[in-house]
Structure 1
Amino acid sequence: MMRQYELVEKVLTYDPQADETLLNKAYIYGYKKHGSQKRASGDPYFSHPIEVAAILADLKLDSTVVATGLLHDTIEDTDATREEIDKLFGEEIGSLVEGLTKISKLKLTTRETAQSENLRKLFFAISKDIRVLLVKLADRLHNMRTIMFVKPEKRIRIAQETMDIYAPLAGRMGIHFFREELEDICFTILNFEARETIIRRLKEMHEDEGDLLHDIADILNRKLKEFGINARVYGREKRPYSIFRKMERQSISLEKISDIYAFRIITKNEDDCYRALGLVHMEWPMVPERFKDFISIPKSNDYRSIHTTIIGPTRKRIELQIRTEEMQEVNEFGIASHALYKENVYINSPSEGTMPGDNVLNKKLGSVPLSEKSNAFEWLRHIVDGLEDGDSPEEFLEHTKLELFADQAFCFTPKGRLIALPKYATPIDFAYAVHTDIGNTCVGCKINGIVSPLRSKLNNGDEVEIITSKGSKPQPIWENFVVTGKAKLAIRRVNREERRKQYSHLGLEMLNRIFKKLKIEYTEHKLVAALPTLAFKSVEEVYVALARNKLKLRDVTIAIVPRLAESTDIDAFNSQTHFELGASSKTTPMPIRGASKAHGALRFSKKHPPIAGERIVGI
């Protein structure tokens, strides 16, 4: 377990101005609060917060974030309170620690619901302060490093959650060494045999081929030097999980994967990146369709690099990544790289126009905060949109997973605005990416100036023009072919609201009819007075419950007019009214989809779904 002075010295090595008093105070407080608590390994529990703080120090984060790492479990796992943390360490750290506290005190129905709720809470906290995410990822990384002490069933569950959410989240935020280590640990747990097989085959290949990495790096270095390009080259073998994914994706064996080696050419400036690219393509043939320029069009996590694949010196396919030193730092550390202590860097200092409490991670780019320039922050804001729209926890989890795993295509608006979309996205996805209102009112599109179907698949470089019509609404069938979480949720939300309106109208009509039969005037004021008796909060909820048969019409009628409880007329009218709503007659239209005011308010049976063209025999 790292000692107190060792942690402080670690921080001081990269930040001589670090708040030593804060770090010492947080260390002592956490040590006392966790006391005799033990981890599954038998180690003192406080060893975990210390390791989390050390990981944050490896990222060269400030003393506030490192102190948060020391305190991150105090509210959740000890008798510490938010008020106490605020008083001792300030509201800033109190807010960070509370943002990292799970929703453990709520009685949630299923484990998936609990996972969804905790993910929602995490993203709410991240939307207020990005540093919450850095601490959370460090927390998960250390927990995964020590997961062998956890029971097998729980180990598999945690590994699957990490593979589904936290590893891709680290990748989306550009912290690739976090992502790779998390994936490797999870792969060991979830598919141990596959990982061992890949490692064994790679070892056999090394014995057959010798030290190819060193040989090829030497050749590349020599060529760059001959052309006067100041750069360094290093190679690495792709990780077992990366190889496994390629085998699965392409349905091929390891022997048929030709590009298991990747080399990076790190230059001093951007011009040299393109000079190095020209040299490589002059010397060795490139593989068509394997060239990507992420310098001119960065990825959504701010990743910048040139990618190309060549038939290299040994006649093997070699993947090359060409980038500058600065790009390398951002590509490895992602959003954490923007928090490194350098000249003109500040953390959690409100910029002009921000309100107190709007804690954002900023790096000065002229006078503009990095949070306004960063694609990674833009992606986070996009994810948080799903929270602000009030979707269910399960829908938010689905939305987030869709966004985490998507490969990208880059398209443009007619005015030249770049829109990053998942691979196989449609113009409808594009419309929702521009703005939710554009998606909701979309009726057509032009791709590269040509009128095209809305379900077309977009390709890199497409210019997309969306045609809208005021008052139009998304079609339910769109949900079947859009690919972004944002589009799916928006379509679902609008159609759910529309369906609720239809249910509400049908419920009102049911009440109007029975009261007309009873020759009693019905007003909503009477129903409002009966809400406490029915245990409903609003009139609309009652109407919807009636239409969905979740509430008996007789019970509502008696709640409004209690004296009818003794009447026999109400039962007769109640039965007759239900019959007439479903009756097929010229005077009473059947509430069938597309044929009455209750359009869409009926649901087809899932067990025995109707076939198009079948005669309707009952409702």
Structure 2
Amino acid sequence: MMRQYELVERVKRYNPAANEDLLNRAYVYAMRAHGTQKRASGDPFFAHPLEVAAILTDLRLDDATIIAAVLHDTVEDTSATLDEIGAIFGPEIGALVDGLTKLKKLDLVSKRAAQGENFRKLLLAVAADVRVLLVKLADRLHNMRTLHHMIPEKRERIGQETLDIYAPLAGRMGMQELRDELEDLAFRNMKPEIYKTITQRLADLSLKSERLVESIENDLTAKLAARGIAAAVTGRRKRPFSIWSKMERKSVAFEQLSDIFGFRIVVDSTDACYAALGVVHTTWPMVPGRYKDYISTPKQNDYRSIHTTVIGPKSQRVELQIRTEAMDEIAEYGIAAHAHYKESAKRDDPGGVHPRLATESGAYQWLRRTIELLAEGDSPEEFLEHTKLELFQDQVFCFTPKGRLIALPRGATPIDFAYAVHTDVGNTAVGAKINGRMAPLLHELTNGDEVEIARSDGQSPPAAWESLVVTGKARSAIRRATRSAVRRQYAGLGRQILDRAFERAAKSFTEDKLRAALPRLARLSTDDVFAAVGRGEMFSGDVVKAVYPDYKDERRTGSPGTTSAMPLNGAGRLSRSKDQTMRITFPGAQAAGTPASADGSDPAAIPIRGLDGDLPVSFAPNGGAVPGDRIVGILTPGIGVTIYPIQSQALAAFDNEPARWLDVRWEVEAGSTERFPARLALQSINEPGTLAQIAQVIADHDGNIDNVSMKRRTADFTDIVIDLAVWDLQHLTAIVQELRAKRAVSRVDRITG
């Protein structure tokens, strides 16, 4: 464990004017506060904040940041208070520690809501002072270095959170070195066997390629020196996580990777970067499509460099990065390095940073804008989801017709572009021109595209767009617009569910009481709660518990996805499958896929014209078909003919086999009592009597239930699939309309395979 004088010495190495007295007081205060606390590894807990501080001294950060790192766990894990820290160490350090303290005292019902709310608090604190983020990333890095002491479940959860949030966030802040280590540590703990295999193969390859790497370094250095360019050329090997990601993304084997080794050329000025590029491209052939100039068009995290790939010595594909020393440090340390170059940017330094860094880091500006957008009215869960979407690192750069640069994640569409320009532009978008030509709104944008959005004031975004966009801003705006359109419907349903939930609990229910419980539910208004319950996002029992904390819901004994046994009136038989799905089978019913002859001799024959009477005939196994449907027959040699409705998705499997398609149609006489198979998917409110209501509707319309399966989707909703037999499409439509009119049924759809 680092000693008191060692901490002071580490800071004074790069900051001789450091406040030694304040550093000593912070060390002693934290050591006493943590006392005899231990970590999972058995080490004293106090060793952790010291290691976090040590990481930050390597980044040469100021006294306040180092002291905040030493104190960052005191309020959360000891009896220390923020008021006390503010009084002893000053308001600046008190604010940093506050931003790093989780909202553990908030009594939130949902763990995911608590996670989202804690993350929202962290990012809002980061927006006020970026040093909060630097401490948090160093904290996560040390936790990841000691993650192997945790139980497997925690390793998996913390590792996934690191890959989803903290590593991309470090990348967005330009701290590539820290990001790489976070990703590798998560990979090592989540997939230890794969990590070990890739690491071993990299070690073997490095031994074989040592001379080749050295040869390329020397060759590049000599070529540049011959043109009067002083450069430091270094070879580097890709990290295990980066290699694994590429193998997964491109479905290639390790042996097929051609860019495991890369080379970095560091020169003393921006002009020298382009001169070095000229030397490289005139010496070796360039690989088409592999040239990117991030000096003239920097990334949003202030990354600046030239990337190119050439066919180098011995026909070896060589990846190159060309940059200045200042660019190199910012590429590795991001916003942590930014402060060191503010002064150099003011001078006429040809190797200095981009001019915009003289005022504020572009990465930090992006972070603040993103937080402002995401903090507007979303639930904590949505905030977490949208933040993840915004953290994608790989980008494309597009332009408006007026030349404004818009940076978007890979895979972005004109819809994402429209929302990046302005929310109103996205909400009213109806079409797009890309490079002067009309293009679909779902077209994937590429670097350099000029995008013009066509708008209509009467347009509103379809709900389906939410699943098609890739940016958090677009998804958030579409969700808000959709929510406004359907809020009244869901809020009404949610209110009904809560009325019954409070009635079952024998508790009184008023909006005033619900309003008082909003902080525990992490919602801003009662309408938000009603809508969340109506959509099935929030369990009604959680709302009752939030209003009445002592209430215990006896119904909530299982988890979503499981069901309990329920009584059934009639001749059905109830059974439970291994996947916890309940099935009710009615004796004497013919299954949808049961074969029957087509010659009319069998009472269960299918009256269809266009088939040879000797062929066995069956209906599509997933949904069947009924008279009134347009139908087609699919011939399977040795088995017979299967009848599908023309809208069945299963027919796509036979698109390349036209010889198997048969032209058939119904031949049903008026007044026929023959029944035909159909399948319905229902979403019902989970309350006593719902199944009875559904069965009664089908019985009242003289439908015959063949089979029922039920699965609890959430505590308030159940998914039901019903196989039934009807006379024709008109008969089926009447049943569907009656079911939709039932208050206990929120949705009914026909399944056609």
Q: Which residue of 1 aligns with 2:359?
A: 370
Q: Which residue of 2 aligns with 1:197?
A: 197
CA distance in 2, matches of 1:143, 1:548: 37
Instruction: Out of 267-276 and 96-105, give the one that drifted further.
Output: 96-105
CA distance in 2, matches of 1:487, 1:533: 32
The amino acid across from 2:414 in the alignment is P
Q: How has the CA–CA distance of structure 1 residues 546 and 149 changed in structure 2, closer, same or farther, with 3 Å as cutoff? A: closer
Q: How has the CA–CA distance of structure 1 residues 533 and 71 changed in structure 2, closer, same or farther, with 3 Å as cutoff? A: closer
- SS of the counterpart of 1:132? helix
Q: Which residue of 1 aligns with 2:59?
A: 59
Q: Which residue of 2 aligns with 1:43?
A: 43
CA distance in 2, matches of 1:107, 1:424: 39
Is the 8 Å Cα contact of residues 123 and 384 (structure 1) preserved in structure 2? yes
Shift of residue 470, structure 1, vs aligned partner: 3.1
Shift of residue 404, structure 1, vs aligned partner: 1.8
1:409-432 deviations in Å (ceiling 9; x for gaps):
110011111000111211110111
CA distance in 1, matches of 2:67, 2:378: 34
1:185-228 deviations in Å (ceiling 9; x for gaps):
11111111112212222233344444222221111111111110
Shift of residue 445, structure 1, vs aligned partner: 2.2
CA distance in 2, matches of 1:504, 1:89: 49
The amino acid across from 2:101 in the alignment is T
CA distance in 2, matches of 1:542, 1:186: 36
Q: How has the CA–CA distance of structure 1 residues 110 and 230 changed in structure 2, closer, same or farther, with 3 Å as cutoff? A: same
Root mean square deviation of aligned Cα: 3.3
Q: Which residue of 2 aligns with 1:380?
A: 367
Residue in structure 2 matching 1:414, options 384, 401, 413: 401
CA distance in 2, matches of 1:18, 1:545: 52
CA distance in 1, matches of 2:532, 2:49: 49
Q: How has the CA–CA distance of structure 1 residues 368 and 59 changed in structure 2, closer, same or farther, with 3 Å as cutoff? A: closer
CA distance in 2, matches of 1:274, 1:368: 21
1:128-166 deviations in Å (ceiling 9; x for gaps):
111110000001111111222222322222122112211
CA distance in 2, matches of 1:617, 1:366: 65
- SS of the counterpart of 1:445? strand
Instruction: Out of 139-148 and 54-63, give the one that drifted further.
Output: 139-148
Residue in structure 2 matching 1:617, options 728, 737, 743: 737
Q: Which residue of 1 aligns with 2:16?
A: 16
Q: How has the CA–CA distance of structure 1 residues 546 and 456 changed in structure 2, closer, same or farther, with 3 Å as cutoff? A: closer
Is the 8 Å Cα contact of residues 374 and 476 (structure 2) preserved in structure 1? no
CA distance in 1, matches of 2:533, 2:33: 53
CA distance in 2, matches of 1:539, 1:247: 48
Q: Percent identity?
A: 56
The amino acid across from 1:150 in the alignment is M
- Specify which structure has the bigger relative contact order, considering alpha-carbon pairs within 8 angstroms and separated by 6 or more residues: 1
Q: Which residue of 2 aligns with 1:355?
A: none
Q: Which residue of 2 aligns with 1:435?
A: 422
Q: Which residue of 2 aligns with 1:33?
A: 33
Q: Which residue of 1 aligns with 2:660?
A: none
Shift of residue 486, structure 1, vs aligned partner: 1.2
Q: Which residue of 2 aligns with 1:118?
A: 118
The amino acid across from 2:737 in the alignment is V
Q: Which residue of 1 aligns with 2:88?
A: 88
Q: Which residue of 2 aligns with 1:282?
A: 282
Residue in structure 1 matching 2:450, options 446, 453, 463: 463
Q: How has the CA–CA distance of structure 1 residues 420 and 3 changed in structure 2, closer, same or farther, with 3 Å as cutoff? A: same
Q: How has the CA–CA distance of structure 1 residues 163 and 425 changed in structure 2, closer, same or farther, with 3 Å as cutoff? A: same
**Alignment partner of 1:394 is 2:514:** no
Is the 8 Å Cα contact of residues 326 and 353 (structure 2) preserved in structure 1? no
Q: How has the CA–CA distance of structure 1 residues 547 and 157 changed in structure 2, closer, same or farther, with 3 Å as cutoff? A: closer
**Alignment partner of 1:448 is 2:435:** yes
Q: How has the CA–CA distance of structure 1 residues 506 and 132 changed in structure 2, closer, same or farther, with 3 Å as cutoff? A: closer
The amino acid across from 2:37 in the alignment is Q
Q: Which residue of 2 aligns with 1:518?
A: none
CA distance in 2, matches of 1:540, 1:274: 59
Is the 8 Å Cα contact of residues 237 and 261 (structure 1) preserved in structure 2? yes
1:444-477 deviations in Å (ceiling 9; x for gaps):
2222222332222211111112223335321112
CA distance in 1, matches of 2:721, 2:83: 56
CA distance in 2, matches of 1:306, 1:366: 18
Instruction: Out of 271-280 and 380-389, give the one that drifted further.
Output: 380-389
- SS of the counterpart of 1:168? helix
The amino acid across from 2:423 in the alignment is T
Q: How has the CA–CA distance of structure 1 residues 166 and 260 changed in structure 2, closer, same or farther, with 3 Å as cutoff? A: same
Is the 8 Å Cα contact of residues 531 and 539 (structure 1) preserved in structure 2? no
Shift of residue 329, structure 1, vs aligned partner: 0.9
- SS of the counterpart of 1:218? helix
Q: Which residue of 1 aligns with 2:580?
A: none
Q: Which residue of 2 aligns with 1:98?
A: 98
The within-5 A match list for 1:276-355 is 276-340=276-340, 343=343
Shift of residue 24, structure 1, vs aligned partner: 1.6
The amino acid across from 1:617 in the alignment is Q
Instruction: Out of 407-416 and 116-125, give the one that drifted further.
Output: 116-125
Q: Which residue of 2 aligns with 1:4?
A: 4
CA distance in 2, matches of 1:344, 1:110: 49
- SS of the counterpart of 1:617? helix
The amino acid across from 1:178 in the alignment is L
CA distance in 1, matches of 2:353, 2:129: 17
CA distance in 2, matches of 1:295, 1:548: 48
- SS of the counterpart of 2:315? coil
**Alignment partner of 1:77 is 2:77:** yes
Q: Which residue of 2 aligns with 1:576?
A: none
- Gapped runs of 5+ residues in structure 1? 347-362, 509-529, 552-578, 584-603
Is the 8 Å Cα contact of residues 300 and 366 (structure 2) preserved in structure 1? yes
CA distance in 2, matches of 1:507, 1:248: 42
Is the 8 Å Cα contact of residues 345 and 358 (structure 2) preserved in structure 1? no
Q: How many residues align?
A: 531
Is the 8 Å Cα contact of residues 374 and 386 (structure 2) preserved in structure 1? no
Shift of residue 504, structure 1, vs aligned partner: 6.6
Higher Rg: 2
Q: Which residue of 1 aligns with 2:233?
A: 233
1:353-408 deviations in Å (ceiling 9; x for gaps):
xxxxxxxxxx999898633xx33123212431344212112212211222223521
CA distance in 2, matches of 1:285, 1:135: 45
Is the 8 Å Cα contact of residues 120 and 387 (structure 1) preserved in structure 2? no
Instruction: Out of 539-548 and 290-299, give the one that drifted further.
Output: 539-548
Q: How has the CA–CA distance of structure 1 residues 533 and 77 changed in structure 2, closer, same or farther, with 3 Å as cutoff? A: closer
CA distance in 2, matches of 1:533, 1:266: 65
The amino acid across from 2:465 in the alignment is W
- SS of the counterpart of 2:365? helix
CA distance in 2, matches of 1:47, 1:58: 17
The amino acid across from 1:430 in the alignment is F
The within-5 A match list for 1:514-553 is 532=510, 535=513, 537=515
Q: Which residue of 1 aligns with 2:636?
A: none
Is the 8 Å Cα contact of residues 233 and 264 (structure 1) preserved in structure 2? yes
Q: Which residue of 2 aligns with 1:479?
A: 466
TM-score in terms of structure 1 length: 0.79
The amino acid across from 2:479 in the alignment is R
Instruction: Out of 542-551 and 174-183, give the one that drifted further.
Output: 542-551
The within-5 A match list for 1:144-223 is 144-223=144-223
CA distance in 2, matches of 1:207, 1:450: 52
TM-score in terms of structure 2 length: 0.65
Is the 8 Å Cα contact of residues 414 and 441 (structure 2) preserved in structure 1? yes
